[in-house]
Structure 1
Amino acid sequence: MPCGRDAEDFVTRAAGRLHRAPPDFDAPRGDHDLNPDWLEPEAGRRYKPAAVLVPVIMRRHGLTIMLTHRGSALRAHSGQISFPGGKVDDGDSGPLSTALREAQEEIGLAAGHVELMGYGDAYRSTSGYLVTPVVALVEEGFRLSLNPFEVAEIFEVPVAFLMNPENHEVQVRLWNGRLRQYYAMPYDRHYIWGVTAGILRHLYERLYHP
């Protein structure tokens, strides 16, 4: 188990181990990591580029990561836990631009409070998106304004909890007639799973694996 998950250690690891530029999409991570038999049927499938902001909040008591509960009226993944983010628009200059725009639109987080730390591994989802995680440090003092249609709630989880592999459960459910394995990180009353948990798991592996 990796040790020393204090703020300074996390920031140092992020500076040395995250991608300095958006990662190559040739060999993305994704839902197929736990379901390798899914790769062959999806060969040749075109994925829509997307980006999410992984907001690491510098609190006085330690680092946290901000997550959202998606609005119940959304057509896709309603009610699930996610990062601020969405598909890359034509006017976006790259994943960072997308992540900052979506964070402003969804939760009112101003770009001036956000400092890029680096990029996580690209993540391929079964819903047809190729997601770039944009990991950023957010200092205290920001103000938020939720878009009630897109976001029902915001909450924070300690980095020490999310970067502890003992909290990374592998669960199974039936999905489209197939058994699907996926990561889940239940925290308090929040059930973090699927793509969001997968991105967090890959962040842990990139920062803390040898």
Structure 2
Amino acid sequence: MTESEFLDLARTRLSPEPIGRLALARGDHDLNAGAPRARDPKRAAVLIPVVRREAGPTLLLTVRSSRLRAHSGQIAFPGGRIDESDACAWHAALREAHEEIGLEARFVERLGYSDTYLSTTGYLVTPVVGLVSEGFTLTLNPAEVTEVFEIPLAYAFDEANQELQVRCWNGHLRRFYAIAHENHYIWGVTAGILRHLYERLATKEPVA
């Protein structure tokens, strides 16, 4: 997928506003019938950073620090809980990206919102897609992030690389998407958000 192709799809198929209603949220329950669904989930936001590169757009991802209590060592987008001081999900995503990896807001253009994701851990996550211009420098917060890396957007959007897997979790079989790229393994919420973004942008008919 070229940058122009991606931008054409993003500007017509992403939502201009957060898809915040709990009833419209996608999530683990899409693949797992009977998965628990929080009635009053905590609100969070993530930035899906699409980086402009000469060879084609890439996705910037982080590896969470092993010091964190939850999801340590896993791959994630920059993001976290929406604070009362945050004007909106977009501001929360930018704030978290700056706190975690030092990405400055002046390099990021908001393109729109993808499908809200309800996790089994009780978070309602608003993913906001941002186009990141080259020239930025990153400073990692070691308490939260140990590594950042990029994968080609075309690779992530290739269905051959979106593997549906099954694992036993808390005594139940759980189905989830996973994307392996070089020495990185993207799964769980992050892979689910990526899959939903792919469905919204790259399928023949826009997702409602």
TM-score range (shorter-chain normalised) is: over 0.9
SS at match of 1:62: coil
**Is 1:78 aligned to residue 78 of structure 2?**
no
CA distance in 2, matches of 1:22, 1:126: 20
1:12 alignment counterpart: 8
1:171 alignment counterpart: 165
1:160 alignment counterpart: 154
Q: CA deviation at 1:208?
A: 1.3
Q: CA deviation at 1:37?
A: 2.0
After superposition, give the CA deviation of every residue in 1:127-168 in whole Å (9 maximum; x if it has no partner): 110000010000100011000110000000000001111111
Name the amino acid aligned to 2:154. Answer: A
TM-score (norm 2): 0.96
**Is 1:119 aligned to residue 116 of structure 2?**
no
CA distance in 2, matches of 1:22, 1:83: 17
Q: CA deviation at 1:114?
A: 0.5
Structure 1 residues without counterparts, runs of 5 or longer = none
Q: CA deviation at 1:36?
A: 2.1
Structure 2 residues without counterparts, runs of 5 or longer = none
Runs of 4+ in 1 over 4 A off after TM superposition: none
CA distance in 1, matches of 2:93, 2:145: 15
Contact 2:16 2:112 in 1 (8 A): yes
1:195 alignment counterpart: 189
After superposition, give the CA deviation of every residue in 1:81-120 in whole Å (9 maximum; x if it has no partner): 0000000001001110100000000000000100001000
| 2:56 aligned to which of 62, 65, 69 | 62
Name the amino acid aligned to 1:53. Answer: L
CA distance in 2, matches of 1:66, 1:20: 22
**Is 1:27 aligned to residue 24 of structure 2?**
yes
CA distance in 2, matches of 1:88, 1:131: 9
SS at match of 2:70: coil
CA distance in 2, matches of 1:100, 1:62: 23
Contact 2:44 2:124 in 1 (8 A): yes
SS at match of 1:205: helix
Q: CA deviation at 1:12?
A: 0.5
SS at match of 1:115: strand
**Is 1:50 aligned to residue 44 of structure 2?**
yes
CA distance in 2, matches of 1:27, 1:115: 26
Q: CA deviation at 1:6?
A: 1.1
After superposition, give the CA deviation of every residue in 1:33-75 in whole Å (9 maximum; x if it has no partner): 110222xx53x62100000000000011110000000000100
Contact 2:79 2:96 in 1 (8 A): yes
CA distance in 2, matches of 1:125, 1:28: 10
SS at match of 1:90: coil
CA distance in 1, matches of 2:181, 2:127: 21
Number of residue pairs matched by the alignment:
203
CA distance in 2, matches of 1:175, 1:208: 31
Aligned alpha-carbon RMSD (Å)? 0.9
TM-score (norm 1): 0.95
